[in-house]
Amino acid sequence: MVSDKIFKRIETPLFNKEICKLKAGDEVLLSGVIYTLRDQAHFRMVELINKGKTLPICLRNQIIYYAGPTPAKKHVIGSCGPTTSSRMDSFTPALLKAGLKGMIGKGTRSSEVVRMIKRYSAVYFIAPGGAGAYLSFKVRKCSIAAFKDLGPEAIYELEVKDFPLIVGVDARGKNIYERMTKFK
Amino acid sequence: MSKRREIETLEIEKIVEKLCLKSNIILRADVLRALKKVCKNETKNPVAKKMLQLLVDNAKIAEKEKIAICQDTGLVTVFIEMGDKVIIRGGNIVDAVNKGVKEAYQKGYFRKSIVIDPIYRVNTGTNTPCIVHLDVVKGNKCKIIVMPKGFGSENKGRISMMNPTSSIETIEQFCVETVKIAGPDACPPYVIGIGLGGTMDFAALLSKRALLRPINLYNSSKHIAKMEKSLEKKINDLKIGIMGLGGISTVLGVNIETASTHIAGLPVAVSISCHALRSASAEI
């Protein structure tokens, strides 16, 4: 099994003091409550923000996870790895403005999102994609928090313990994928 | 000459169900072997090595707990190669395939990821309809291949209708560029399926079929096998690596399938698969 000696441990809710200590490339173990949020839930949240309505979950100092888990079998949740982050890029600035501090996903972010992460002192983590079975055992509790009608795309509240992550973009705007921007 | 044979749709339904369960829970042997190999050979990038080991562990956990390898249990494509001496009894074969998929996704606790309409996007709740490709071959057997594919990687596929005079270099350049654009977003190490020839739609189908061939086997035509090897090297030289961490693990294999085509064209389709390349087959 994977050794966890060199990981930094962090907990939710996430505050600037801890965020400032995180550097792009750091290996992190995350514990606490996080919320799944993917395509359609992003769409609805940003629509609510634009209309000035109350959100079904409070984003202040929270971390969202771009994921849509499989249903629970014996454990509290099924497979639950990350989905591609770049699909959420256009929605991200509005959520950061609403107080969001962290995002977990896989892959690159737009330069606009990286700029916004820096402006709002937030952080973007990458999780190991395609390791959903492994990650499911890092989840202790799971319940639906909002948008139940969206099925796998609903907002789930997850309580995680030692969830393994790597800092992708830190609060200084440093990006581990900088070497890859030349590809785009 | 083989004799005529009757196959009940119920049998097809049961086999599709079994193959959906198997492919989503047990990682293909050739893929697991390739992952273990690249994990062993990754010596210079400790974080990448650790993450590759995690994927090997993930496959073990999924098999032991009988849960999905990846939460994106995909849109299911079913390839049926039906002998010309086979008579289907008991109903419609496509309905039977869809029933099998629906059963498996319920019993397997797999994610239901299919929406009925690309614009209205209401989830069907069954992970159906699936995509069915039916081919008629000689004989009295029926081969069924099931491939659930997640959309993180599916979204990164590309097609180019090239000139018939295009060089191998140009074809390869397009394929490498497709992986460059995907970057780390689609879960590398990738398996790349390439379709050359046919029409636009058929090249895309070939690129999917290419993913069904074990990744340790090269194309039986020498000039195509040469391209597969050349592309494997060029793509690994991008050094994207698992999670975009760099290192040696950008691609596990490149498979190319070809078909006859028109004097005026050279369709090139590239399908990208994540490292959780899933498929299973059975013959009735």
pLDDT tens digits, one per residue of A75-129: 999 999 999 999 999 999 999 999 999 999 999 999 999 999 999 999 999 999 9
B275: chain A residues, CB-CB within 8 Å: 130
CA–CA distances in Å: residue B2 to residues A23, B5, B83, B246:
67, 9, 10, 53
Q: What whole-number distance in Å separates Cα of residue B274 and Cα of residue B153?
A: 6
Q: What is the pLDDT of residue A46?
A: 97
Mutate to test the interface with B, among A26, A134, A135 (most CBs of B within 10 A): A134
- Cβ neighbours of A21 (radius 10 Å): 12
Same domain membership, residue B263 and residue B192: yes
Give the pLDDT band (50/70/90) at residue A179.
confident
For B147, left (φ over 0), alpha (ψ -120 to 50), or beta? beta
Regarding whether B163 and B78 lie in a shared domain, the answer is no
B181–A contact, CB cutoff 8 A: yes
Q: Which range of residues forms the domain containing residue B145?
A: 5-26+69-149
CB atoms A152 and B113 under 8 Å? yes
Average pLDDT, chain A: 93
- Looking up tokens 């959420």 gives A88
Spell out the residues 6+ positions from residue A90 whose beta carbon is closer than 8 angstroms to its own: none
Rounded CA-CA distance B253/B284 in Å is 29
Residues of A in contact with B244 (CB under 8 A): 107-108, 126, 176-177, 180
Average pLDDT in the A147-157 region?
Answer: 95
> Are residues B129 and B177 located together in one domain of the fold?
no
Q: pLDDT per residue over A43-69, tens digit each?
A: 999 999 999 999 999 999 999 999 999
Give the C-alpha separation, B96 to A67, whole Å. 31
The answer to whether residue B20 sits within a structural domain is yes
Report yes or no on B245 lying in a domain.
Answer: yes
For residue A33, give how far its alpha carbon lies from the nearest alpha carbon of chain B (Å).
Answer: 20
Q: Within this chain, do residues B129 and B84 fall inside the same structural domain, yes or no?
A: yes
Q: What b-and-e string marks burial along B137-152, b requiring 16 or more CB atoms within 10 Å of the CB?
A: eeebbbbbbbbbbbeb
Instruction: Provide the residue type at B263 as one letter.
Output: I
Tell me if chain A has a CB within 8 Å of the CB of B276: yes
Residue of B nearest to A130 (CA): B70
The single residue of A42, A101, A106, A138 carrying the catalytic annotation is A42
Q: Of chain B residues 3-22, which have a CB less than 8 A from chain A? A: none
Is A42 labeled as catalytic in the residue annotation?
A: yes
B116 located within any domain: yes
Q: pLDDT tens, position by position, for chain B (284 residues)? A: 679 999 999 999 999 999 999 999 999 999 999 999 999 999 999 999 999 999 999 999 999 999 999 999 999 999 999 999 999 999 999 999 999 999 999 999 999 999 999 999 999 999 999 999 999 999 999 999 999 999 999 999 999 999 999 999 999 999 999 999 999 999 999 999 999 999 999 999 999 999 999 999 999 999 999 999 999 999 999 999 999 999 999 999 999 999 999 999 999 999 999 999 999 999 99
Residue B50 lies in a domain: no
Distance from CA of A34 to the nearest CA of B (A): 17
Give me Rg for the CA atoms of chain B: 19
Domain count, chain B: 2
- Among candidate residues B282, B280, B275, B277, the one with its CA nearest the CA of residue B35: B275
pLDDT tier, A16 (very low <50, low <70, confident <90, very high otherwise): very high
| Whether residue B259 sits in one domain with residue B126 | no
Q: B171 and B114 share a domain?
A: no
Token digits of residue B180? 């460059």
Task: Give a yes or no: residue B281 inside a domain.
Answer: no
Judged by CB atoms closer than 8 Å, whether chains meet at B111 and A2 is answered as no
Q: Looking at B123, B149, B175, which one is the last position of a domain?
A: B149
Which among B121, B149, B177 is the end of a domain?
A: B149
Contacts of A129 in chain B (CB under 8 A): 152, 187, 243, 274
CATH 3.40.50.720 fits A14-174, yes or no: no
Q: What is the 8-class DSSP label of residue B189? A: S
Q: Which helix (H) or strand (E) holds A139?
A: strand A139-146
Q: Does the beta-carbon distance from A70 to B110 stay under 8 Å?
A: yes
pLDDT of residue A1: 43
Same domain, B139 and B159: no
CA distance B242 to B42: 11
Which residues have a Cβ under 8 Å from the Cβ of B81 and sit 6 or more positions away? B135, B137, B142, B143, B145
Helix or strand holding residue A97 (H, E): helix A92-97
* Residues B82, B159 within the same domain: no
Please name the residue that has the structure tokens 């849109």: B75
Does the distance separating the beta carbons of A177 and B244 come in below 8 Å?
yes
Q: Which one of B149, B179, B203 terminates a domain?
A: B149
ipTM of the modeled complex? 0.91
Rounded to the nearest angstrom, the minimum Cα separation between B103 and chain A is: 15
The answer to whether A70 contacts B244, with C-beta atoms less than 8 Å apart, is no
The pLDDT of residue A184 is above 50: no
CB atoms A184 and B181 under 8 Å: yes
Q: Is residue B52 part of a domain?
A: no
Q: Which residue of A has its CA nearest to B127?
A: A152
Residues from chain A contacting residue B73 (CB–CB below 8 Å): 70, 79
Please name the residue ranges forming H helices in chain B.
Answer: 9-25, 29-41, 46-65, 93-107, 151-154, 168-182, 200-210, 222-236
Mind telling me how many Å the CA of B227 is from chain A's nearest CA?
Answer: 22
